Chain A
Amino acid sequence: AQSVAQPEDQVNVAEGNPLTVKCTYSVSGNPYLFWYVQYPNRGLQFLLKYITGDNLVKGSYGFEAEFNKSQTSFHLKKPSALVSDSALYFCAVQSNSGYALNFGKGTSLLVTP
């Protein structure tokens, strides 16, 4: 089964510092990988995706993610964190059930001033 794991429940970073939110995947075949963000009391918003091509994927709000096949990872990164980046972040992989996604459990990002 296609699955992702987010090893950190929470990540704390100071504003202006780089941030990384980790994700590893387990798939058969080529993975379709996604990152979503959820602000309090809101639905999920799409940030970026990896289908094929360049291993460094750029997305919304200055976020990027690096696909690493040898380490089966797809970590989310941002060079300089903002307080407004504080939210819940989900990694996901396309499942074998049509187009549906299998989500990780989420990582809460807290950026402090």
Chain B
Amino acid sequence: IAGITQAPTSQILAAGRRMTLRCTQDMRHNAMYWYRQDLGLGLRLIHYSNTAGTTGKGEVPDGYSVSRANTDDFPLTLASAVPSQTSVYFCASSDSAGGPQYFGPGTRLTVL
């Protein structure tokens, strides 16, 4: 089934722990993105990648890192989680500028 998968679906994490959120797409899209969604704030861009091998910082990149070793995968890593990183995280992809973005189902992360 074509689309974007994210794992895990949800996670409770102790503060200070390292966590990697996984994202895989099978649409061969060049661009991929990570957003966080918080009540009253909408979606905010964390990091993006316009093509494999390149990444860029979004609006709220602090405390997060990404890599794009290949076209399909775009993992998001929290090196040392803090409670303010409690959020719902969405991965998305698109094939070109002006094209629609396709979103994964999200990962609900709680940092205690």
- Residue contact B97 to A94, C-beta cutoff 8 Å: yes
Which chain A residues lie closer than 8 Å to B35 at the CB level?
103
A102 to B33, CA, bound (A): 12
A106 to B44, CA, bound (A): 12
- Residue contact A51 to B98, C-beta cutoff 8 Å: yes
A50 to B58, CA, bound (A): 23
Number of interface residues of B (CB under 8 A): 30
Known: A43-B90, A43-B106, A44-B90. A101 touches B101 (CB 8 A): yes
A98 to B48, CA, bound (A): 8
- Residue contact A44 to B40, C-beta cutoff 8 Å: no
Number of interface residues of A (CB under 8 A): 24
Known: A43-B90, A43-B103, A98-B50. A32 touches B97 (CB 8 A): yes
Which chain A residues lie closer than 8 Å to B33 at the CB level?
100-101
Interface of A is mostly: loop
Q: How far is the CB of A57 from chain B (nearest CB, A)?
A: 12
Which chain B residues lie closer than 8 Å to A106 at the CB level?
42
For residue A90, CB closer than 8 A to chain B, the reply is: yes
For residue B64, CB closer than 8 A to chain A, the reply is: no
Q: How far is the CB of A106 from chain B (nearest CB, A)?
A: 5
Which chain A residues lie closer than 8 Å to B101 at the CB level?
34, 44, 46, 99, 101
- Complex partner residue of A100 from B45, B96, B103, CB under 8 angstroms: B45
Which chain A residues lie closer than 8 Å to B57 at the CB level?
97
Known: A45-B103, A97-B48, A98-B56. A105 touches B41 (CB 8 A): yes
Which chain A residues lie closer than 8 Å to B42 at the CB level?
90, 103-106
Name the residue of chain A whose CB is nearest to the CB of B90: A43
Which chain B residues lie closer than 8 Å to A32 at the CB level?
97-98
- Residue contact B97 to A49, C-beta cutoff 8 Å: no
Name the residue of chain B whose CB is nearest to the CB of A49: B100
Which chain B residues lie closer than 8 Å to A45 at the CB level?
103
A32 to B33, CA, bound (A): 17
State the A residues within 8 Å of B (CB): 32, 34, 36, 41-46, 49, 51, 90, 94-95, 97-106
